[in-house]
Amino acid sequence: MKTFDITTTQYKVSDFLSWQKAGTLILSPSFQRRSVWKKGAKSYLIDTVVRGLPIPIIFIRERRTDLKTFEPLREVVDGQQRIRTLISYISPNLLTDIDKNRDIFTVLPSHNKEITGYIFEKLSEDIKNKILDYKFSVHVLPPNVDDQDVLQIFARINSTGMKLNGQELRNAEYYGEFKTLMYNLALKNLNRWRKWKIFTEDDISRMLEVELTSELCIFMLNGITAKKQKAIDGIYEKYDPSFKEKSGIEKRFDFVMEAIDENLGDKLQFSAYKNKTLFYGLFGIIYELTYGEKASLEKLQPQKTTRKQWSNLIGESEKFEKKKVPIKVIGAITRRTTDLLSRKILFDHLRKIVNG
C-alpha cells in the first residue's frame, strides 16, 4: 500500500514571484488545463487578496533541484490559474508566454472601487504590500508523487462533492455587475431569509437565496417569466460587462423587501408566503402596487400600499394553507410552480385578492 508524505505550509505571493523570476516555478504541468480565466474572475481574485480573504488551497509538487541555480523546482499542480493571475497583474513580463489580450487586466469597479482601473505599479504602497505579503495555504507533494498519483489525489478530492446546482455554476462562471449585485442583495437580506424561514441553512449554503434574489430582479426587469436555468444564465451573461439599471433595481428591491418586513415581519414565517413560489408572488404584487405593472426603471415615486391591501394578502395566506383557493391556483402553486402559465395564474389571483 502506497502512502503519501504531504506537508502543509504557507507561502507568500512574493515567494511565487521570486520562483518565477528565478525560473524554478513550473506553472503549466502537462496534465493541467491552460489558463482560461476571464478578466472578471481575475479581477475578483485580486480583490479577494486585497481584502485578505481566504482562497482555496494551492497544491505544488517538489521536483529535482535545478543544477544551475541550485534551487529546487516547484510545480503548481493545482492553482496555476490563481498564481498566473497574480503574476500577470504584478509583473506580467515574468510570464514567458504572455498574451496581452489574455493576461493584462485591472480590477473592475463592481469588485473594488478603490483600486479599479489601476495597474499594480499605480497602487499605494500599502495595497502593494498587502498583495505581495498575502499568504496561500499550500499542500506540498514530495518528488516521489508521480502524475498518476496526482490524478488519484484529485479524483479522491472530487469524488465526495455534490453536483453543482444552477446558481453554484453561475457563481463560478460570472464575476461582473449583475452577479455582484445579486450576491450583495442576497447577503444584505440574509437575516430576513432566516427569520422568514424561506430557506434552510443548507439552502443558503448552496446559494438558493441568491437564485431567488435573481428571479425577483429579473421580474423587475422583464415582468413575469418562467424559471429556466438557461434564461437566468442569459441574464447573468447579458449584464456581466455592465448593468446600467443597477441603481434602480437595488433601490426598488430594498424598498419592497423593507415593506414586506414592515408589514409581515415575524408573521411571515408562520404564513403561506414562506413558500418560495408564494413569496415570488407576494414580492411581485407589492412591486406592482408600488411602481405599477410592467413599470419602467425610470425614476418614479413609489406608491405606499394600504393597510387594507396588506390585510387582504395576509387573510389569503390561511386560504392558501387550507387550499381554499380556486383549483387552478392550487395547481399553480403545487405542481408546475415555476412555468410561465402557473406564475400568471398566481399573479392574477393575487391581484384580485389585493384589490378586494
Query: Residue 152's pLDDT band (boundaries 50, 70, 90)?
Result: confident
- The residue among 137, 159, 181 that closes a domain is 159
Question: Residue 67: what pLDDT?
Answer: 75
Q: What is the DSSP letter of 120?
A: G
Does pLDDT of 66 surpass 90?
Answer: no
Classify residue 312: in a domain, yes or no. yes
174 and 134 inside one domain: no
175 and 314 inside one domain: yes
When pLDDT is averaged across residues 53-72 and rounded to a whole number, the result is 86
Cα(261)–Cα(192) distance, rounded to whole angstroms? 8
Classify residue 299: in a domain, yes or no. yes
109 and 175 inside one domain: no
Classify residue 213: in a domain, yes or no. yes
Q: Read off the pTM.
A: 0.85
Does pLDDT of 299 surpass 60?
Answer: yes
29 and 136 inside one domain: yes
331 and 215 inside one domain: yes
When pLDDT is averaged across residues 137-142 and rounded to a whole number, the result is 94
Query: Which of 243, 355, 258 lies closest to 302 in space, CA to CA?
Result: 258
Classify residue 286: in a domain, yes or no. yes
CA distances from 204 to 101, 105, 143, 198, 297 (A): 37, 32, 41, 10, 29
207 and 141 inside one domain: no
345 and 274 inside one domain: yes
Classify residue 41: in a domain, yes or no. yes
Question: Residue 163: what pLDDT?
Answer: 82
80 and 221 inside one domain: no
Question: Residue 83: what pLDDT?
Answer: 95
Looking at 66-165, list the stretches that DSSP marks H as alpha helix, in order from N- to C-terminal side: 80-90, 100-103, 125-132, 147-159
Where in the sequence is the domain holding 217, given as residue range(s)?
A: 166-354
Contacts of 259 (CB under 8 A, 6+ apart): 286, 290, 305
188 and 291 inside one domain: yes
pLDDT above 70: percentage of residues in the chain: 97
Does pLDDT of 165 surpass 90?
Answer: yes
Query: Residue 32's pLDDT band (boundaries 50, 70, 90)?
Result: low
Does pLDDT of 158 surpass 80?
Answer: no
Does pLDDT of 12 surpass 90?
Answer: yes
Name the amino acid, one letter, at 284: G
147 and 182 inside one domain: no
Mean pLDDT of the chain: 91
Classify residue 2: in a domain, yes or no. no
Classify residue 185: in a domain, yes or no. yes
- The residue among 159, 188, 212 that closes a domain is 159
Classify residue 226: in a domain, yes or no. yes
Query: Residue 7's pLDDT band (boundaries 50, 70, 90)?
Result: very high
80 and 32 inside one domain: yes
Tell me: the pLDDT tens digits for 172-197?
A: 899 999 999 999 999 999 999 999 99
Question: Residue 31: what pLDDT?
Answer: 59
Q: How many domains are there within the chain?
A: 2
- The residue among 144, 159, 174 that closes a domain is 159
242 and 140 inside one domain: no
